[in-house]
Structure formats: C-alpha cells, structure tokens
Structure 1
Amino acid sequence: MLRPLRVAASRSGNPIVPSLTSRPLPSGHSQLCILRTSAIGDVTHVVPLVRTLQSKAPTTRLTWIVGKLERRLVGDLPGVEFITFDKGKGRQGLRDVREALAGRRFDALLHMQVALRSNLLSLAVKADRRIGYDRARSKDLHGLFVNERIPARSGEHVLDAMASFIEPLGLEQTQVRWDIPVSCEDHAWAAEQLPGDLPTLLVSPMSSHTVRNWRVERYAALIDHAMTRGMRVALVGGPSQAERALADAILGQVARPPLDLTGKDTLKRFMGLLARAAMILTPDSGPMHMANAAGVKVLGLHAASNPDRSGPYSDRRWCVDRYDAASRKFLGKPASAIPWGTKIEKPGVMDLIEVSDMVDRFEACASFLGLRLPG
C-alpha cells in the first residue's frame, strides 16, 4: 500500500514542496518580489536575473527589497520598484519595510538570503509562493520561511545559484547581462580622474573579510611592476578608516606613488572608473564583481575562497587560484574533499599567493588585451 506523501509545513502554514516541477506565474500582470539585501557582490549577481525576468516575463511587476548601500548601485535599474531595508535602523528598519508593503500581496517571493535577519524580514512579504534555497544551502531556520525550494545542486557559481530561483517559475537564465546604469556625471567625474586613454590598472586592496587581503608589501610590489611597465595605476577604496589605513600602508611601500582615489568615489563613480580601466587587482570582494559586470579583466587573489564559486563570473583566467593549496595546508585535504563553498579564512592563507604569481597573470592579461607597454 502506498503511503501518502508527507511534507513539512513552513512558518506561513503552507507545505514545503520541492521544486521538481515548475509552475509559471499567472498570466497577465503578476507581481514578484525579490528579497536580496546584501552584499554588493551578491546584489550584482541578482541583476542578470532581473534582466532575464524583464525579457521572459515582461508583464510581471518586479519589486526588490535591497539594502541601503546596495541600492546606490542598482536602485536606478529601469522597470523595478525598490524598497530599501536599512539594517542600521534595527527594528525600525524592519517596520519601514512592513509599512511599505502593507496591504500588498505577491504571486511569488524569491527569498534569496538565508541570514536570520533576512528570514524575519521576509515575513513582511505576503506571497502565495515563497521560493527559497535547497536544504543544503539553508541556514538560520530558512526552511521555516519558504514553501518551495530551488533545485539542489552543488558546484555552482553563486550567480548560477541565484539564477536558479526562476526555475520553479518555468523560466531559465540563458544569457547573463548586467548593463548597470551609470550617469553622464559619474562618467565625467571618472574622466577627470583618469584622463586620456592610458592603459589603467585599478587596485582595490580590501575585502570586507580582512583575512582575504594580500600583504601590503605584495600589493606595493605589483603596483611597482605595473608602473614600471608603463601602466597608469590608481588605488581605490571606500571611505572607512580601515581602507584609508591600508591605502596609506601601501603608499608607504611603493617606489613611485600611484594615483590615490581612496575614499573619493561612490559606487556609481567607481563604475565610471571601471569604464576607463583595463584591469583591476583585488581579492574576493564586491569591487571584483562590479568589475566583472563592467567587463573589466580581474586579477583576482584567491586562496581563502574558491574562485569557481565566488570568483569573477565571466572570466577567471587572470586570477591566481591557491584554494586547493590552502585546503591541503589548513584543512589537511584537497579542495575536492571539502564541502562546496567552504571558506578557508585562516591567518596567513593569502601568503600562498606570491608576487611572481600575480606578475605572471598581469603580463598574460596585458598580452591578451594587446596592450603595448613600454617598460
């Protein structure tokens, strides 16, 4: 005798059903809510999903709950309603979102963030379908706040995982397109900082996970090499004291100082700088993914994180990958034997990347781009 299928209940009271079959949104003007508030890199990964929805479900009204800082990057995407979540306000930030959504109901919620705060925030969204992560990628009670899950897969880049959120809706992301708007004013500011058409290397040295940062003297050595080869180099970063301190430390070790734009740009101005750059040197960070979205070649520093999961999506040829070496040294096993997405954020892990490793990638990238460097 066949037993009836038993499914768990979510916090909303609806059963959690695995997304083995897809169901399209209702025909006509359906409403879809995206919840992904942070961080900059992850928000950048959501933009192609928005572009896909606009292309394949053009009558669907899109609402995106996004962080205050992150909205400064993506908040002018056309055809999207943005609702800001300001986590700095604490409970008031949650109440602000609830008030903005009062009286509304969505055909589906794409719940794309698993942190407990985001799970609680999702309760402000009234939706018939609440699509969340598969069990392996869930945490902080995420499963209690969804009633459908994306397909369970391993070995995916973060961008591809986010793209799979539309699969339960009968859609598939077959093209990755960003086209993040940048104003004429932001392009003009960037042109003032980087006039002319000199080949330019941007150096964005800090990740929010400081253990992913390279040694100061190694940043300085790569900057010296690039400037000796005739590249214009600009040091970039945010206005925080930590980023200012790291920039000053690097400037104190270089033979000739690069342009110092640390703390002078905004997210949109940085996009303007990227439009005038050939390459960027950076650890796993938001600027890495912004650069990739802008089509800039990324000299990525990877040891603490797996570039196949969180590196520049479009082109990882110019990255130095020491993730497997880090796994063997700090975890005693190859990367293939540890769970996908494991972060190896151990003191000294980035020392596995030598200056010569990055010089090799710099020279290979310059050759690929056809840059005629006189040095």
Structure 2
Amino acid sequence: MSAVGDAVHVLPVVTALKRHDPAIRITWILQGGPASLVRGHPDVDEIILFDRKGGWRAFADLRGKLGGRRFDVVLDLQVYFKASIVTALASAPVKLGFDRARARDWNWLVTNRKIPRRAPRHVQDQYFEFLDVLGVPSEPVEWRLGPYPHELDAQRAFFAGLRRPAVCLVIGSTHVEKEWLPERWAAVSDALWERYGLQPVIVGGRSAREVETEREILARAKHPIISTLGVPFRELVGILAGAALTLSLDTGPMHISVALGTPTIALMGYINPKRTGPYRRFHDLLIDAYGDPGEDYPISIQKRPGRTRRIAVEQVMEKVDLWDRAYRR
C-alpha cells in the first residue's frame, strides 16, 4: 500500500504461501509503483490497483472492485490509515493484523485476529510473523523477482552496449534526509571507473531531486556515466540483476538489488538499518551512519536527521575494496 521496498519485503510471504499450498489464490492490493514491479510475478494471481492519487475517490473505486467478493483471509501487513480503510472494505471472516502496540492510525480496530506482541525486529521478520500464525514455514526465503524469461532479451541488449561491468548508483530517495551529496557521488563514480574498471550506471526514478542530483553528478564527473533514470521497474530489475555491484541509498532499488543477490553497498543514516537495512545479505558492505562508533543501538522507528551526509567518500571506497576482494566475479 505504500513504498516499493515494502512490496519487496512482502514477496517472501507470497512465495511461502504458494510453496506451502499451490492451490492458494493470492489477490494483492497495490499502488501503481509497487504494482509495476510485482506484475507478472509467478506467485501473484491477481493485482487490484489502488490509485491513491485519486484522493477519497480511490477508496470508492476500490470498494466497487471488491464489491460482492469474499476472501477467506485478509493479511493487513501495513499499519497506516489507508491500509486500515482497505482492510475494512475487504470482506473476509479472518482479518489478520499487527498487535495494538505496533499498529498505528487505529489499524487494530479493523482486524479481528492479531499477531502476538513481540519486540521490534527487522521489517522482513515482522512480516514472517503472519506466516507463523498461519502455520506456514518462511524458509527458504525467496523473492522470485526475475528477470523473467520474456525479459532476458531486453536485459542482454542493455548490457551488450557496455564495454565494462556495470555498477549501479541509486542516487535518489523519497526523503531528502536519506540522500547523499552529488559531488561525492561524482568522486566515487570516477574512482569506480579508474580503479576498478567499472561503468557507472545511474538508476532510479525521475523526481525533481533525482534529476537535479544527476545533473550535478554528470557536470562534475570526469568519466562517462550512463543514466537510466525513469526506466520501468521491470527493466530496472534486469539492470540490477546484471550489474556487478550496486551502491544505493536507503530506498526501494536497494531492497530489489539485495533480493536479486547483487552485491549491494547500502548507505544508511536516517533510518535504523537493523530494522530496514539489507536483509541477511551484504551486511559486511553496509555503511552504518545511523549509529555512532561502537554504539549498540536498539531496533526502533526513531529517525536520525543529518546522518547520511556524514558518510565520506573514503568510507564508500573501503567497502568497494572489500567487494573487489570478496565478491567480484
């Protein structure tokens, strides 16, 4: 119901349900961005599009799409107001959601079964609690994001035009506090070209801030950078899957890259990485500016402004050195 990263975290729940019982029919209510990523997934039977840009009319439209339909179970994996309304609109004898302590915006009022209360955990593990209640094993953790067979020709065509292995740079985010400075991106890009023989590829959306950041990076960089800003999510999957390395802010493409198994250097400072950082993979490549040196901070939703910009170019290059020794293939 919101960010692409959340949809990536839900996918292992979907794949586990189908693995447990292939006869289960899964209908997923999604906003436009996440829907474009998930569309075509082999374990998703139906997507109902929720157009939040339509304001209150979006809820009326959704009510019409759900009218007369009855589901066996509704999984309310999000705790925000709009998800609460959608859960209330869906007809089912079982509506499973988070406990009152973790629910927000009166979300607990629209569910009739609650996940038992637990201490804060990584978002992915919180979603797995739904599987625990349903008696469905979560292992092995699978995203099955592709690229799918019909997408391979486009992927091959993209990489055929490169003379060097690609390194993806995810330079933008939905929140300015998660972003890094353009001059540092440019310096890292040049070092990736000169020291490691990599072709920097800028990936992401075409928000005003991303376009401006890209303009500044290209103006400062000494070596060629390829831009793919604004490509559809399914094309982005192919690019991230074929890259040798991803450098990413704390945003949806970071989670996509990790899910695909592409070595990912995550630059995190504003949001707690123990809660929303790379899941199980590439923790040795994580740049954690959220905590102070030696700080054993707890998992929480607390945000720490100003931290991402503390990350120095040298810190990023140290992680690239580690990738070169441990992951490069």
TM range (shorter): over 0.9
Instruction: Tell me the equivalent position of 1:298.
Output: 264
Amino acid at match of 1:305: I
Instruction: Tell me the equivalent position of 2:301.
Output: 341
Q: CA deviation at 1:199?
A: 2.3
Q: Say whether residues 1:43 and 2:43 are aligned partners.
A: no
CA distance in 1, matches of 2:67, 2:86: 13
Q: Name the larger-Rg structure.
A: 1
Q: How does 1:55-204 map to 2 (within 5 A)?
A: 55-79=19-43, 80-183=45-148, 186-195=151-160, 198-204=164-170
Q: CA deviation at 1:370?
A: 3.7
Amino acid at match of 1:176: V
CA distance in 1, matches of 2:328, 2:86: 49
SS in 1 for 2:154: helix
Amino acid at match of 2:270: A
1:307–1:249 Cα change, 3 Å = same
Given the alignment, which residue of 228, 241, 255 partners 1:261?
Answer: 228
Bigger helix share? 2
CA distance in 1, matches of 2:328, 2:228: 26
Amino acid at match of 2:10: V
Q: Say whether residues 1:208 and 2:141 are aligned partners.
A: no
- State, as a whole percentage, how many aligned pairs show the same letter: 30
Q: CA deviation at 1:204?
A: 0.9
1:335–1:95 Cα change, 3 Å = farther
Amino acid at match of 1:250: I
Q: Give unpaired runs (5+ residues) of structure 1.
A: 1-36, 329-333
Q: CA deviation at 1:194?
A: 2.5
Given the alignment, which residue of 281, 298, 310 partners 2:247?
Answer: 281
Q: Which moved more, 1:276-285 or 1:193-202?
A: 193-202
8 A contact 2:179–2:309 mirrored in 1: no
8 A contact 2:244–2:263 mirrored in 1: yes
Q: CA deviation at 1:192?
A: 3.1
8 A contact 1:164–1:172 mirrored in 2: no
RMSD: 1.9
Q: CA deviation at 1:136?
A: 2.6
8 A contact 2:173–2:249 mirrored in 1: yes
Instruction: Tell me the equivalent position of 1:362.
Output: 320
Q: CA deviation at 1:250?
A: 1.1
8 A contact 2:51–2:58 mirrored in 1: yes
Instruction: Tell me the equivalent position of 1:227.
Output: 193
8 A contact 2:87–2:95 mirrored in 1: no
8 A contact 1:187–1:269 mirrored in 2: no
CA distance in 2, matches of 1:319, 1:244: 25
Q: CA deviation at 1:184?
A: 5.0
Instruction: Tell me the equivalent position of 1:313.
Output: 279
Q: CA deviation at 1:317?
A: 1.5
Q: Say whether residues 1:323 and 2:290 are aligned partners.
A: yes
CA distance in 2, matches of 1:183, 1:61: 21
Q: CA deviation at 1:185?
A: 5.7
The Cα offsets for residues 259-282 of structure 1, whole Å up to 9 and x where unpaired, read as 12223x110000110121011111
Q: How many residues were matched structurally?
A: 325
1:301–1:128 Cα change, 3 Å = same
SS in 2 for 1:290: helix
Q: CA deviation at 1:129?
A: 1.2
8 A contact 1:302–1:350 mirrored in 2: yes
Q: CA deviation at 1:228?
A: 0.6
Amino acid at match of 2:119: S
Q: How does 1:1-16 map to 2 (within 5 A)?
A: none
1:186–1:210 Cα change, 3 Å = farther
- TM-score w.r.t. the length of structure 2 is 0.93
SS in 1 for 2:292: helix
- TM-score w.r.t. the length of structure 1 is 0.82
SS in 2 for 1:137: coil
CA distance in 2, matches of 1:185, 1:147: 41
CA distance in 2, matches of 1:217, 1:136: 43
Q: CA deviation at 1:149?
A: 1.5
Q: Give unpaired runs (5+ residues) of structure 2.
A: none
